[in-house]
Chains A and B, each alone.
Chain A
C-alpha cells in the first residue's frame, strides 16, 4: 500500500535539496571566472587549468592513488580471509578476540586509530611515509571488506561447496572454483569500499604520514583551512564527477546482472 502524500513529496524534495544544493553550488562556482567565491564573474574553465599546473596537488593525488591502490588490495585479501575464517572457520583458540578485533575498527574513532598507529610506528622505529599510510589504511579497511564479504558468505548455499568437495575437489580448488566466483561481487564491492575509504581518509593519514608523503586530503585540508578557493572547487567537481559516474555505472551493472539472473532462472524453469 504505497501512497505518496503531499507530506512525503515535500519531505523528499526538501531532504534531497538539503543533500545536494551545497555540492551543486561548489560545482557551479568551479566554473566562475572571478576569484571571488561569492560573486559570479562569468563562465570559465581556467581554474581547472590552474589545478592541472599545480605540482603540489598533482603529487599529492599521485601519492593518494598509490596508497589507495596498494592498501585496498591488502585490505581485500585480508578482509576476505577474515570473513571466511569468521563464517566458515569453526572453533579455534582465541576466536572471540579475533571477531572483536575484526569489528572494533569499524566503531573506533579515527583520532584514536591514528594516534595508536603513530605511537606503534614510533616505538618500533619505522620511518613514517607512504608505507605506514598503506599499513594503516589496510588495517581499518579490511574490517569493512570483511563485513561486506561475510554477509554474502552467510547467505549462500553451502551445499554447492560440499558437492564440489564430494566430486573430488581439494578444499582450495573448491574455494577457487566454487566459492570465489559466488562471492566475487561482494569481494569487488568490498574492494571499492576499501579504495574509497583510503582515498577519502584525512585523520588517520595525517597522524601516520611523515613529511615525505602528503596525501590529497591532507593537502586539501590545509588549504581549505584558509577558506574557500576556486581551485578546490574545481578539484571537488572532478571528484564528485568520478564518484557519480562510478556509482551510476555500478548500479546499472548490478541491475542488469539481476535481470539476467531472473531471465536465466525463468529459462531453466521452462526447460525442466
Chain B
C-alpha cells in the first residue's frame, strides 16, 4: 500500500474513530458506572497508571445497575413508550398529508415541477428552530389558529393547543413533512403512466388502478419517507421542549434533563444506550429498503 493511499484512508478513518466510535464507547462505559459526588460525577474512573491491576479493578466495578434502575422506574418506561407512540402517530399523519402533496406534484404540468420542487426544498433549508418557533405564535391561546376557528364559528372559546401533545404532533408533522414528500415524489415521478392507461383500458376504475398500481409501485418511496420521519422524531428534543407541555414525555428531553438538570451522567448514558437499541430495528429496515431501491434503479 503506498503512502498516498494510506493517508487518504487513514485521515477520515482516524477522525471518525476518535470523534465517533470512542465517544460512543465512553457513553457505554459511563452507563455501566455509578453516580458519585466528584468531578467527573461518576465512578470508577480508569487508572492506567496502576497497570493491569487498575484495569481489573475498573472492570470489576462496572455493572448493569443503571439499566435495572431504568427497568424499574416508571418514568423511563413511559417515556420510551410515549416517544414511540408520538413518533408513530406523527409519521402516520405525515404520510396522510405528504402522499397527496407528492401525488399532486407528480401529476402537475411539467413546467410547474421545478417550482413545486423548490417550494418543498425551501422549508428543508430553512432553520429548523425558526420553523418550530413560527408554530408557537400560531398555536398559542390567542394565536392565529384559535382566532380563525372562532371566526368561522367552530369553537366559541380558544382551545389550549400549545404545550400539549397535539402541538408536538403538529410540530413534528410540520418540520418533517419535506422528508416524507421528497422520496414519495421521487418514486411517483418515475412511474410509467402507460401502466395506468393499460389498467383503465382493461376495465379498472381510476380508484382501483390507484390502489393496485400507483400504491404498490410507490411502496419503496413511502417506506423511505416513513423511516426518514420516524427515526429522527423518536429522539426529538427541540419540539417537545418548545411545543410540548410538562407532561409531554419524550426520551430525548428526559436524557437532556437527566444530564444537565439532575447531573446523573450514568443514568443519562444508560438512557442513550437503550434509545439506540430501539433505533437499530428501524435503521436496519430503512437500510434494506434503500438497497432494494438502488437495485431496482439499476
A contact residues vs B (CB 8 Å cutoff): 1-5, 7-9, 11-12, 15-16, 18-23, 25-26, 29, 37-38, 78-79, 81-82, 84-85, 89, 92, 94, 97-98, 101-102, 104-105, 107-112, 115-117, 119-120, 122-123, 135-136, 139, 142, 171-172, 196, 199-200, 202-203, 217, 220-221, 224-225, 227-228, 232, 236, 239-240, 243-244, 246-248, 251, 255
Contacts and interface: CB of A to CB of B under 8 A. Distances in A.
Contacts of B9: 85, 89, 92, 98
Give chain A's interface secondary structure class.
Answer: helix
Contact of B101 (A11, A110, A122): A11
Given A105-B20, A119-B23, A239-B126, A26 B137 contact: yes
Contacts of A89: 5, 8-9
Contacts, number: 231
Given A116-B24, A171-B4, A251-B114, A1 B197 contact: yes
Contacts of B4: 171-172
A100 B174 CA distance: 30
Contact of A26 (B130, B268, B286): B130
Given A120-B23, A243-B126, A139 B15 contact: yes
Contacts of A225: 241-242
Interface of B is mostly: helix
Contact of B30 (A37, A92, A105, A119): A119
Given A78-B12, A105-B20, A120-B23, 7 more contacts: A15-B104, A26-B130, A84-B8, A112-B27, A115-B255, A139-B19, A221-B129
Query: How many interface residues does chain B have, given as a range?
Result: 35 or more
A3 B107 contact: yes
B15, B108, B121, B268 interface centre (most CB from chain A within 10 Å): B15
Contacts of B16: 82, 98, 101-102, 139
Nearest to B234: A109
B15, B127, B265, B269 — most chain A CB neighbours (10 Å)? B127
Interface stretch (B47-55, B73-81, B138-146, B149-157): B138-146
Contact of A255 (B20, B114, B134, B197): B114
B136 A224 contact: yes
16 contacts: A2-B107, A4-B109, A8-B108, A12-B104, A12-B105, A15-B177, A18-B97, A38-B142, A82-B16, A101-B20, A109-B234, A111-B256, A111-B275, A116-B24, A200-B129, A232-B133
Nearest to A120: B23
B177 A19 contact: yes
Contact of A236 (B5, B130, B174): B130
B268 A115 contact: yes
Nearest to B116: A12
B137 A81 contact: no
A25 B134 contact: yes
A8 B127 contact: no
Contacts of B5: 89
A220 B17 CA distance: 33
B11 interface: yes
A86 to B, nearest CB: 9
B104 A98 contact: no
Given A9-B104, A92-B9, A243-B122, A203 B21 contact: no
A22 B193 contact: no
A21 B8 CA distance: 47
Contact of B143 (A3, A38, A78, A108): A38
Most buried by A among B101, B193, B275: B101
A98 B15 CA distance: 11
- Nearest 3 pairs between A and B by C-beta? A109-B235, A1-B193, A11-B100
B12 A228 contact: no
B129 A220 contact: yes
